Amino acid sequence: MADDAAHSDILNQAAQGQLKSIIERIERLEVEKSEIAEQIKEVFSEAKGNGFDVKILRKVVRIRKQDRAKRLEEEAILDLYLSAMGEI
Per-residue pLDDT of the chain (88 residues; tens, 9 = 90+): 555 655 667 879 889 999 999 999 999 999 999 999 999 999 999 999 999 999 999 999 999 999 999 999 999 999 999 999 999 8
- Does residue 47 lie in a domain region? no
pTM of the model: 0.68
Rg (CA), the chain: 24
85 and 64 share a domain? yes
Number of domains in the chain: 2
Query: What's the angle, vertex CA 26, arms to CA 18 and CA 59, rounded to 5?
Result: 150
57 and 24 share a domain? no
Q: What pLDDT score does 77 carry?
A: 97
35 and 58 share a domain? no
The boundaries of the domain holding residue 86 are: 53-88
Q: CA torsion 33→37→40→45, rounded to 10°?
A: -160
Q: Nearest 5°: phi and psi at 66?
A: -75, 155
Q: Are 74 and 83 in contact (CB under 8 A)?
A: no
